[in-house]
Structure 1
Amino acid sequence: MCLAISVSLVMTSLKSSLTHRRQTQQLLRVEQADWLLEAGLVRAHRQLHEDDAYTGETWSVGDAIRGGDPAEIEIEVTRDDSSKDSLTVHVTARLGQDEPQNPHRIQRSQTWQIASTF
């Protein structure tokens, strides 16, 4: 009886530990995707300084990601016709395999309005 209770407690503790580990890994992946978004904005800004006709790109950065996950950053720059002084930079970061049943794939997007001083 005591052995059954002890095994049950150990199994419950192990399950809880594994669940916590998975949740922590997922939070780290979300944080990585946020860093990729920021990297996309920085890259767009740098590219606009070099070429004022820059409209965006898809940037593969999987080699830079811990764990070897494939990652890409899609950057789209549009000019606001009503105001020549601003640009819209839309960045989408994707982290993980592009498979229909992949629960670990993360996609985050953000849009910034920046001054057009280029």
Structure 2
Amino acid sequence: MCLGISVSLVMTSLKSSLTHRRQTSHLLRVEQTDWLLEAGLVRAHRQLRDDSTYTGEIWSVSDAIRGDEPAEIEIEVTRDDASEDSLIVRVSARLGQQEPENPRRIQRSHTWQIAAAF
């Protein structure tokens, strides 16, 4: 009986530990995707500074990411219809395989309005 209780406690502890590890890993991947968003904005700003006709790109950054996960940043730059003095920069960051049923794939997007003159 004591062995059964001990095994039950060990299994419960192991399950809890694995769940915590998965949650921590997921939160780290979400944070990494947020960093990719910021990198996309910085790249857009630098590209616009060097070339005022820059409209965006899909930037593969898999080599910079630890592990074997593919990562890419999609940048789109358009003129702001409401103001000729500003641009709209849309950045989407994707981390993980693009498979229909991949619960580990993370995608985050953000839109910024920035001044057109650099």
What band does the TM-score fall into relative to the shorter chain?
over 0.9
The CA deviation at 1:27 is 0.2
TM-score (norm 2): 0.97
**Counterpart of 1:90 in structure 2: which amino acid?**
R
Divergent runs of 4+, >3 A: none
Task: State the 1:48 CA deviation.
Answer: 0.1
Structure 2: tracts of 5 or more residues without a match:
none
Which residue of the partner structure matches residue 34 of structure 1? 34
Question: 3-state SS of the aligned residue for 2:113?
Answer: strand
CA distance, structure 2, for counterparts of residue 27 and residue 17 of structure 1: 15
Q: Secondary structure at the match of 1:101?
A: coil
Partner of 2:6: 6
* Superposition pairs of residues 1-118 of structure 1, within 5 angstroms: 1-118=1-118
Query: How many angstroms apart in 1 are the aligned matches of 2:11 and 2:82?
Result: 63
1:72 aligned counterpart, secondary structure: strand
Q: Which amino acid aligns with 1:83?
A: S
d(CA) in 1 for partners of 2:68, 2:114: 32
Aligned Cα RMSD in Å? Answer: 0.8
Q: Aligned-pair distance for 1:81?
A: 3.5
Q: Percent identity?
A: 81
In structure 2, C-alpha distance between the alignment counterparts of 1:112 and 1:27, rounded to whole Å: 24
Question: d(CA) in 2 for partners of 1:11 and 1:92?
Answer: 40
- 1:78 Cα offset (Å): 0.4
Per-residue CA deviations over 1:54-105 (Å, capped at 9, x if unaligned) read 0000000011111221000000000123422100000000000001111100
**How many pairs does the alignment contain?**
118
Structure 1 gap segments, 5+ residues each: none
